[in-house]
Amino acid sequence: MSWAHTPTLTQYLIEERRRYPQASGDFNALILDVARACKAIARQVAYGALAKASHAVTTTINVQGEEQKPLDVISNECFMRLTEWGGYLAAMASEEMDEPYVIPEPYPRGRYLLLFDPLDGSSNIDVNVSVGSIFSVLRAPEGKSEITVEDFLQPGTKQIAAGYAIYGPTTMLVLTVGRGVVGFTLDPDFGEFMLTHPNIRIPESTKEFAINASNARFWEPPVKRYVNECLKGKTGPRGKDFNMRWVASLVAETHRILSRGGVFLYPRDNKEPKKPGRLRLLYECNPIGMIVEQAGGRASTGYGPVLEVQPTELHQRIGFVFGSREEVERIEQYHNDPDASPVDLPLFAERTLFRDETL
Ligand code: MN
Ligand code: MN
């Protein structure tokens, strides 16, 4: 039985922990409870239009008499109820809650902060396209009796773990604890996450980009330029044809890029000048950014590393560009040096530029 030799998530975490003899085990308990929340959400999502009739909504997650809630709220409660009791968290924050949730009495207060997007891409639910959950783990400040919003405003470089679950044809959990990226596939027979992808790496170059082209008229010049050059294909300055993809679900886009490379852009644009970007820094861009960087890719605001941004608000939005390293570096160069021509870029001396110019 080959599966007997495949490590589970639990086994992976225990083996990682053995590297740190002083570790308390709290961290492993946290990740295992997050994984359990993801399994519960995977089941909820799988019921689709049958959810009302299934009773699963009222029995598996204690919504106390409520017949059905939007899946975002149910998923949020899954995360809260399955992680608040364990004694490893000081507080948590979520897309679905205006303010942080400080762990209440009688539960012990722990050393970590958890941030999450409980159901990412939920507008895709009705069309039965992959959705997911995203999470980020930070350290709580030591020796502080009250946890406040400010304690969550740590740059992404401070994350000690990040991950997402994707609820697609198979349910997977993709995780980094700062030593590369690993992927687990949920075995539906045993309900266990099995280590099926022990070392996920993003290819350095790609011929695939993902952007919501309906926003083209609002893009800043560097983004227009990048996309135009891709669209020109083989006879353009890039000298190769590109494919475009757009799922409109961050987790699904991330998973595709981790699987076969590519670049994703939801850049800052001038559609709504008050909103600098669409995606949320703390529970979307930072955890995805850590995973991408740990997989050898690059995660950027368009101008520089997203993980180095000092957050100013819990639900802050930001421009986000990530994926294959060479493409993201090129996009950053277009932002930071608008006059750079593709031939100036050391990595991409393109003979074909001249052909294009003289045609
Ligand atoms: Mn989301
Ligand atoms: Mn969401």
pLDDT at residue number 55: 43
Quick one: which ligand is closest to 71's CA? 2
Share of the chain above pLDDT 70, in %: 89
R_g of the chain computed on alpha carbons = 21
Q: What is the CATH number of domain 208-340?
A: 3.40.190.80
Tens of pLDDT, residue by residue over 159-210, are 999 999 999 999 999 999 999 999 999 999 999 999 999 999 999 989 999 9
Which residue ranges make up each domain of the chain?
A: 9-197, 208-340
Give the CA angle between residues 260, 197, 309 to the nearest 5°: 65
Closest ligand to the CA of 287: 1
Q: Which of 211, 174, 195, 162 is nearest to 331 (CA)?
A: 211
The DSSP string of 210-273 is EE-GGGGGGB-HHHHHHHHHHHTGGGSTT-S--EE---S-HHHHHHHHHHH--EEEE--BSSST
Helix (H) or strand (E) holding 182: strand 182-187
The mean pLDDT value for 230-235 works out to: 96
Q: What is the mean pLDDT of residues 40-60?
A: 72
For position 56, what pLDDT does the model report? 45
Burial class (CB in 10 A: 0-12, 13-18, 19+), 273: exposed
pLDDT at 52: 64
Q: How confident is the model at residue 95 (pLDDT cuts 50, 70, 90)?
A: very high
Q: What angle do CA 42, 47, 53 make, to 5 degrees?
A: 135
CATH label, 9-197, candidates 3.30.540.10, 3.40.190.10, 2.60.40.10, 3.30.420.10:
3.30.540.10
What pLDDT shows up at residue 20? 86
Mean pLDDT of 98-102: 97
Task: Tell whether the model's pLDDT for residue 245 goes beyond 60.
Answer: yes
Task: Return residues with CB closer than 5 A to ligand 1 (ion).
Answer: 117, 120
pLDDT of residue 68: 53
Q: Indicate the pLDDT class of residue 272, thresholds 50, 70 and 90.
A: confident
196 CA from centroid of ligand 1 (Å): 25
Q: Is the pLDDT of residue 351 over 90?
A: no
pLDDT above 60: residue 67: no
Burial class (CB in 10 A: 0-12, 13-18, 19+), 240: middle
119 CA distance to ligand 2 middle (Å): 4
Query: What are the pLDDT digits (tens) for 327-346?
Result: 999 999 999 987 776 655 54
pTM summary value: 0.91
